[in-house]
């Protein structure tokens, strides 16, 4: 290679080194230029060989400068830019494939809406059925029992003493109940203990007959207002129950009705001569006096059974009105005494929780032939069943107003047997006064009076027969047939007595 070509190559190298061209492309162009120069020289030698004697001196010879390489400033393009075409026959060296590199994550700002739409695929896991939970054991509600006390019945005094020592209980009272044939002990729990935990332990004792909390029950009256105007005009219940027609057939004479309530004011003119000498009442309460007046008032007021005898028990002590409370043991003792005194009907115008000991007393009273009538409760439409009304041995009564509409606070349920007037009922009040009361308590008292009329007419009637007559003769209210709001319907004293007469006549014919 001549010096001239060497200089051109050097100039090309310098130019390529200064241009911003990728190194691979630059090297390739150098190879192309070098190859083209060599090929041009070989081509000249092959195509135009020198022949001696053919020089023409008369024609000047073009100087041989070799291949001319033109360098044009190259623009830098991204990958895939245009290149200089190689000469014919040139084989381009194979380009190296780039090595795969790990993709780098780049954070790109996306609109919030797009980010919300992009969700990662979730792995679907097989759903395993959740384990079934057993319903919790109902717990006693604070305020519905006497805290710090428990009741239990043992078959013998020795077992009673053993239980008292084992659980460090202090005996407060012992009650002999002839009605159930048991002895109930009221005891205070040990210091630092509580009634619910102690009861749980006592119920695990197989030697005991029964055990229970000393529950509290409330009288079922909500509204009280003073009587105004003509008393006879205020009374709407007698017409609703057709008492004028019923009193032509019976007035309740010689029937003993027990009222387990607050004290009764026996000195009230409406109740003169009504209280039985066996009554155990040393206090006077507005609720008990009002209940007795609904059943047996006989002066200015028209009651359901004006000639009955009232056996009163002041089992509910405390503030006047519905705030008075009666305990399980006090109610049981009154029920036992009512049975011993020969009461045919027991009015229970109070409500509270279910109770094992009280349930045993109610069952025994029914088996003895006593008719038990109770207030359905003033807890409202969604309230749980109230006891003792919800017990199978008891006739549950709800309250209606002068328009035969249900009392707004009355309980509902399958245990409701029938309805009676119980809103704005005019009756006796302590101190020879009168007042109007509302609540299922007074509806129960109305039905108690009607039951007394039935038993006067037919003393042999059983508690089940009395229930059947009252419900079959009731005037239907609400939806056709029996329902959970009104029960069998509104009590009808005249229709009930007629049903008794028909049943008595039929039995006599048979």
Q: What's residue 305's pLDDT?
A: 97
CATH no. for residue 492?
3.40.50.200
Q: What is the pLDDT of residues 100-138, one digit of tens each?
A: 555 545 444 444 444 445 445 555 454 544 444 433 333
Q: Choosing from 305, 322, 441, 473, which is the catalytic residue?
A: 441
Sign of CA dihedral 481, 484, 490, 496: positive
Rounded to whole angstroms, the maximal C-alpha distance in the chain is: 178
Q: Choosing from 247, 251, 261, 334, which is the catalytic residue?
A: 261
Q: What's residue 111's pLDDT?
A: 47
Based on the residue annotation, tell me whether 261 is a catalytic residue of this protein: yes
CA-to-CA distance for 196 and 329, rounded, in angstroms? 17
Based on the residue annotation, tell me whether 492 is a catalytic residue of this protein: no
What does pTM read for this prediction?
0.71
Q: Is residue 44 part of a domain?
A: no
Within 13 Å of residue 455, how many CA atoms lie on the same side as its CB? 27
Q: What is the pLDDT of residues 188-219, one digit of tens each?
A: 999 989 999 999 999 999 999 999 999 999 99
Based on the residue annotation, tell me whether 424 is a catalytic residue of this protein: no
CA-to-CA distance for 167 and 198, rounded, in angstroms? 8
Q: What is the pLDDT of residues 310-347, one digit of tens each?
A: 999 999 976 554 467 899 999 999 999 999 999 999 99
Q: Which two tokens stand for residue 445?
A: 């008292």
- Residues in contact with 136: Cβ distance below 8 Å, sequence separation at least 6, in sequence order: none
Of the spans 50-59, 224-233, 386-395, which averages the highest pLDDT? 386-395
Q: What's residue 317's pLDDT?
A: 78
Q: What's residue 136's pLDDT?
A: 38
- Indicate the pLDDT class of residue 87, thresholds 50, 70 and 90: low
Query: What's 274's DSSP letter?
Result: T
CA-to-CA distance for 490 and 488, rounded, in angstroms? 7
CATH no. for residue 167?
3.30.70
Q: What is the pLDDT of residues 449-500, one digit of tens each?
A: 999 999 999 999 999 999 999 999 999 999 999 999 999 999 999 999 999 8
Output 174 or 30, whichever has higher pLDDT: 174
Q: Which domain holds residue 164?
A: 145-208
CA-to-CA distance for 367 and 404, rounded, in angstroms? 34
Query: What's 493's DSSP letter?
Result: H
Measured CA to CA in angstroms, residue 177 lies from 336, 360, 483 at distances of 6, 11, 37
* Token pair 């005194």 in the structure block, residue: 341
What is the rounded average pLDDT of the residues 225-247? 83
- Residues in contact with 3: Cβ distance below 8 Å, sequence separation at least 6, in sequence order: none
Q: What's residue 227's pLDDT?
A: 62
Residue 14, pLDDT above cutoff 90: no
Q: Is residue 188 part of a domain?
A: yes
CA-to-CA distance for 347 and 373, rounded, in angstroms? 5
Q: Which of 155, 186, 208 is the last residue of a domain?
A: 208
Q: Which two tokens stand for residue 58?
A: 């008369």
Q: What is the pLDDT of residues 353-366, one digit of tens each?
A: 999 999 999 999 99
Q: What's residue 131's pLDDT?
A: 43
- Indicate the pLDDT class of residue 382, thresholds 50, 70 and 90: very high
Is residue 182 domain-shared with residue 271, that is, in the same domain?
A: no
Is residue 464 domain-shared with residue 388, that is, in the same domain?
A: yes
Is residue 358 domain-shared with residue 505, that is, in the same domain?
A: yes
Mean pLDDT of the chain: 82
Is residue 436 domain-shared with residue 476, that is, in the same domain?
A: yes
Output 33 or 392, whichever has higher pLDDT: 392
Nearest to 443 by CA among 493, 374, 379, 496: 374
Q: Is residue 484 part of a domain?
A: yes
Q: What's residue 3's pLDDT?
A: 74
Is residue 169 domain-shared with residue 256, that is, in the same domain?
A: no
Q: Choosing from 287, 298, 305, 336, which is the catalytic residue?
A: 287
Q: What's residue 139's pLDDT?
A: 43
Q: Is residue 456 part of a domain?
A: yes
């Amino acid at each position: 290679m001549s010096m001239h070509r060497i200089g051109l190559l050097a100039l090309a190298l310098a130019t390529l080194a200064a241009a911003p061209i990728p190194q691979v492309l630059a090297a390739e162009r150098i190879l192309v230029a070098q190859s083209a120069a060599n090929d041009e020289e070989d081509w000249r030698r092959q195509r135009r060989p020198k022949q001696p004697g053919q020089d023409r001196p008369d024609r000047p010879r073009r100087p041989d400068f070799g291949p001319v390489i033109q360098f044009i400033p190259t623009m830098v393009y991204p990958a895939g830019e245009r290149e200089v075409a190689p000469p014919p026959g040139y084989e381009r060296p194979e380009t190296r494939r780039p090595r795969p590199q790990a993709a780098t994550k780049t954070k790109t700002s996306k609109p919030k809406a797009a980010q919300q739409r992009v969700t990662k695929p979730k792995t679907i896991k097989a759903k395993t059925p959740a384990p079934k939970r057993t319903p919790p054991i109902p717990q006693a509600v604070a305020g519905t029992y006497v805290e710090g006390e428990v009741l239990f019945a043992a078959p013998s005094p020795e077992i009673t003493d053993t239980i008292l020592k084992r659980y460090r209980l202090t005996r407060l009272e012992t009650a002999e109940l002839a009605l159930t044939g048991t002895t109930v002990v009221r005891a205070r729990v040990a210091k630092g203990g509580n009634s619910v935990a102690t009861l749980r332990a006592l119920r695990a004792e197989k030697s005991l007959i029964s055990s229970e909390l000393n529950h509290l029950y409330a009288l079922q009256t909500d509204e009280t207002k003073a009587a105004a105007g003509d008393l006879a005009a205020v009374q709407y219940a007698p017409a609703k129950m057709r008492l004028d027609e019923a009193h032509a057939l019976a007035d309740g004479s010689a029937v003993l009705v027990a009222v387990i309530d607050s004290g009764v004011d026996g000195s009230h003119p409406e109740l003169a001569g009504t209280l039985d000498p066996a009554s155990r009442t040393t206090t006077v309460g507005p609720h008990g006096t009002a209940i007795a007046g609904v059943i047996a008032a006989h002066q200015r007021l028209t009651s359901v059974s004006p000639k009955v005898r009232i056996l009163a028990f002041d089992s509910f002590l405390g503030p006047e009105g519905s705030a008075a409370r009666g305990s399980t043991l006090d109610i049981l003792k009154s029920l036992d005494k009512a049975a011993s005194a020969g009461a045919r009907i027991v009015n229970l115008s109070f409500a509270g929780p279910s109770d094992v000991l009280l349930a045993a007393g109610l069952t025994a009273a029914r088996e003895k032939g006593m008719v038990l009538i109770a207030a359905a409760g003033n807890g409202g439409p969604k309230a749980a069943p109230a006891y003792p009304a919800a017990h199978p041995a008891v006739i549950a009564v709800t309250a209606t107003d002068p328009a035969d509409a249900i009392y707004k606070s009355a309980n509902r349920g399958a245990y409701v047997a029938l309805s009676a007037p119980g809103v704005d009922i005019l009756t006796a009040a302590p101190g020879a006064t009168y007042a109007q009361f509302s609540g299922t308590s007074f509806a129960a008292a109305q039905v108690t009076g009607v039951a007394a009329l039935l038993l006067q007419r037919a003393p042999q009637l059983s508690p089940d027969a009395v229930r059947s007559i009252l419900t079959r003769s009731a005037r239907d209210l609400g939806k056709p047939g029996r329902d959970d709001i009104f029960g069998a319907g509104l009590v009808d004293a005249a229709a009930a007595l007629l049903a008794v007469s028909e049943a008595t006549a039929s039995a006599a014919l048979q």
